[in-house]
């Protein structure tokens, strides 16, 4: 009897505690996400099927006309294409620039390492508006670059640097690069240094070691970093508005304009869903393509 109860007393809390504990730990965040994410998404989707009336704004309906409008108007398709182009280009540049930096950080053994990591994250300490103001002083017609070039006589007309796709790509890279670098750094740190040394001692030159060992082992993290920065780029708002100017529209600003400027909630909702679906779709394609190459 005593034995039995003591056994129960010992066994039960041990087996029960983790699950109730886990629930307590993940519960609040899960609940918050459900309410804050899924509910608005569901409402938004319902809105996207409504009809817009200039007089009474949103009219209850069940129609696909908002989606039809988007996919039949070359203007909106251009906005979508531009958004994808800017996102792909900025993400690829982030990857190419970020990998060496992440590798260097990951293999760094100096006591300055933490400081270096902070330096990488530092751009994120600056708000979008402040950063864009900085870009303007640099890229503007009377900005630093043009002043220097004009002053030294290299050019006689100011270059158009602001309000270009290049400016937006550069701006997005500035914001996204830290995310890429931090993701890659943690993955590369997970590849033990002796594994690389083994490849080197087996006769693989550094590039071969990278191609055969570091890259394949870093692939899952590379994928994560790429997806993260791609999603951030697809949904960028402040950077395209501030650096792209009024004519350079991307999907994020388009959604906002429909809601706040045109008061066309149904169409805004539809654009949101196109953006979301495109982002998820491209992410999925990239993911499966890389997976297949890894297995094959």
| Smallest gap from residue 216 Cβ to another protein (A) | 5
Site for another protein, rule CB under 8 A: 192, 194-195, 197-206, 208-209, 212-213, 216-217
| Smallest gap from residue 68 Cβ to another protein (A) | 47
Give 73 or 197: the residue with its C-beta nearer to another protein: 197
| Residue 167 contacts residue 135 (beta carbons within 8 Å) | yes
Report residue 114 as tokens. Answer: 């933490």
Angle at 22 between CA 20 and CA 25, to 5 degrees: 110
| Smallest gap from residue 4 Cβ to another protein (A) | 38
Contacts of 116 by beta carbon, 8 Å cutoff, 6+ apart: 105, 108
| Smallest gap from residue 192 Cβ to another protein (A) | 6
Cα 193 to Cα 99, 114, 199, 213, 218: the distances in Å are: 16, 19, 10, 11, 13
Give 40 or 206: the residue with its C-beta nearer to another protein: 206
Cα 101 to Cα 37, 96, 178, 187, 189: the distances in Å are: 34, 9, 10, 13, 13
Coil/strand/helix, residue 260: helix
Contacts of 269 by beta carbon, 8 Å cutoff, 6+ apart: 44, 45, 47, 48, 50, 66
Tell me the longest C-alpha to C-alpha distance in the chain: 98
Give 114 or 208: the residue with its C-beta nearer to another protein: 208
Give 214 or 275: the residue with its C-beta nearer to another protein: 214
| Smallest gap from residue 294 Cβ to another protein (A) | 8
Dihedral over Cα of 250, 228, 214, 287: its sign: negative
Give 12 or 211: the residue with its C-beta nearer to another protein: 211
Give 40 or 190: the residue with its C-beta nearer to another protein: 190
| Residue 293 contacts residue 286 (beta carbons within 8 Å) | no
Give 214 or 250: the residue with its C-beta nearer to another protein: 214
Percentages helix, strand, coil for the chain (3-state, rounded to 5) are 80, 0, 20
| Smallest gap from residue 208 Cβ to another protein (A) | 7
Give the Cα separation of 252 and 242 in Å (integer): 13
| Smallest gap from residue 196 Cβ to another protein (A) | 8
């Amino acid at each position: 009897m005593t034995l039995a109860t003591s056994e129960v007393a010992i066994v039960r809390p041990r087996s029960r505690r983790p699950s109730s504990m886990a629930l307590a730990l993940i519960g609040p965040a899960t609940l918050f996400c459900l309410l804050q994410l899924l509910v608005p998404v569901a409402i938004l989707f319902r809105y996207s099927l409504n009809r817009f009336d200039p007089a009474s704004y949103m009219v209850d309906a069940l129609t696909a006309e908002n989606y039809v409008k988007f996919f039949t108007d070359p203007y909106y398709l251009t906005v979508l294409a531009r958004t994808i182009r800017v996102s792909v280009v900025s993400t690829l540049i982030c990857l190419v620039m970020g990998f060496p930096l992440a590798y260097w950080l990951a293999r760094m053994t100096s006591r300055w390492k933490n400081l270096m990591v902070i330096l990488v994250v530092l751009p994120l300490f600056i708000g979008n508006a402040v950063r864009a103001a900085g870009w303007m002083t640099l890229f503007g017609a009377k900005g630093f670059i043009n002043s220097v070039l004009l002053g030294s006589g290299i050019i006689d007309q100011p270059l158009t640097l602001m309000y270009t796709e290049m400016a937006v790509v550069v701006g997005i890279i500035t914001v996204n690069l830290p995310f890429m670098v931090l993701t890659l750094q943690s993955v590369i740190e997970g590849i033990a240094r002796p594994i690389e040394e083994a490849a080197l001692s087996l006769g693989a030159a550094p590039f071969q070691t990278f191609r055969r060992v570091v890259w394949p082992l870093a692939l899952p993290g590379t994928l994560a970093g790429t997806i993260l920065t791609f999603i951030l780029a697809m949904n960028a708002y402040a950077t395209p508005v501030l650096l792209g100017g009024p004519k350079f529209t991307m999907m994020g600003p388009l959604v906002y304009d429909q809601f706040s400027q045109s008061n066309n909630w149904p169409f805004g909702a539809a654009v949101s869903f196109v953006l979301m679906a495109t982002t998820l779709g491209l992410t999925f394609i990239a993911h499966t393509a890389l997976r297949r190459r890894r297995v094959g």
